[in-house]
Structure 1
């Protein structure tokens, strides 16, 4: 991403996507992007609303037995409030239409599960 004519090139940093409905020239958005880039902790990408809505959304669920990766569908149907999310999860048939299991990685042992939980709590991700 180029900001003020400078390209930001990442190595192993996490990707942070920034979007808003007023575009990149919205008040404060360029400042936010500059600050994120200046920390050198993230690869920052600006994504338009149209691009954002076309992107696949995934949910990583951490359970005691392993990691589940779900593809999320129908975000517009759920809405943006907590009550709508709760109702979609409590209704199993609706939940099945909203998310689809894409992958599951079981933990090899209780020790592996403990190590994974500790790693996630410290901000590290597994290399699966």
Structure 2
């Protein structure tokens, strides 16, 4: 869900020509503040020259969230955006995994590239050190 929200918000910020550097999602300490929260609107207040609450509203009005992932969101003073996970989120994820079967998790990253793998061993006659672990990376 975090990756989904980051992609949606980052895309919206790019549409608005606002920087995405301040975009960070975190878990709120209190459950009533949602499952994920961001303070990106407060970080953009200087750049956008608007109040954080107005910025949060502008960001959210341009995003269409999947109802199977985000059940609702709210803007909380001084400019937090709180997201609530849909009750059927996990069931939806499991359904996707089952539907994709063996294709789940596959991607084209690294296709047609070669990798060299070397195996190293520690000196069997001496004591093991942190250096032995670092040399194998």
Larger Rg: 2
Give me the TM-score of the superposition, normalised by structure 2: 0.24
TM-score (norm 1): 0.25
